[in-house]
Amino acid sequence: NAGVTQTPKFRVLKTGQSMTLLCAQDMNHEYMYWYRQDPGMGLRLIHYSVGEGTTAKGEVPDGYNVSRLKKQNFLLGLESAAPSQTSVYFCASSSGGGTEAFFGQGTRLTVV
Amino acid sequence: DQQVKQNSPSLSVQEGRISILNCDYTNSMFDYFLWYKKYPAEGPTFLISISSIKDKNEDGRFTVFLNKSAKHLSLHIVPSQPGDSAVYFCAGYTGGFKTIFGAGTRLFVKA
């Protein structure tokens, strides 16, 4: 049972570099989310998707872009990384808006 | 503007005793509240939820209480076990596919 899989698990970027985080789920969930977790801040929603081909902004979308070309995949892109984007990123999926979400193991990103 | 607040960063409890984790919220429009548990180097996992129209929900050793007038909810773990040591996040769902998380409380259960 893979559930939600995030790639990569760790990454170090230099300021200004770009990268894409991949999230894949095998539960046929319609809804997918990207969160970031920072010390003392809990989990904050970056972007989310309510179905294939759709995306929407969350609480902290600036500096990130997303795409959901296939139902099972949700990509998070950083076009020009900044030190403020150093964080742990979690992808999640759910069958409904208020139902339990299933999370990936996280990606620890450091921008130097 | 923190809509969901977990004011205790950490809590230490003896094995076998009750753990009570608290959460306060400011948004009256939350439809559901959820608790997630997170171990180090893992993603959060769902623990228990409660609808805003209820005041209690129980699942095994875990019970969540909701006091709407006080805008307060709590998670009770009885009896506490060392494996319960983790970070617990309280979250509120308002609709629009947005779930707002608190900052988390780290629970230590001592053997």
pLDDT digits (tens, 9 = 90+) for A35-83: 999 988 889 999 999 999 999 999 899 999 999 999 999 999 999 999 9
**Distance (Å, whole) CA A97 – CA A85:** 26
Residue B16 contacts residue B100 (beta carbons within 8 Å): no
At residue B4, the pLDDT reads 94
How confident is the model at residue A105, as a pLDDT?
Answer: 96
* B21-37 mean pLDDT: 94
Question: Rounded distance, CA B26 to CA A49, Å?
Answer: 26
> Is the predicted pLDDT of residue B1 greater than 80, yes or no?
no
User: What are the tokens at B81?
Assistant: 């076990």
**Closest CA in chain A for residue B96:** A97
Instruction: Give the model's pLDDT for residue A40.
Output: 82
Distance to chain A for B103, nearest Cα, Å: 4
Name the residue facing B89 among A42, A48, A50 (closest C-beta).
A42
**Cα–Cα distance, B63 to A89 (Å, whole number):** 29
DSSP letter at A26 equals: S
Say if strands B19-25 and B72-77 run parallel, antiparallel, or are unpaired: antiparallel
The answer to whether the CB atoms of B104 and A42 lie below 8 A apart is yes
Token readout for B14 is 């003896």
On average, the pLDDT of chain B sits at 94
The Cα A7–Cα A9 span in angstroms is: 6
Give me the mean pLDDT over the B42-70 stretch: 96
Number of H helices, E strands in chain B: 0, 11
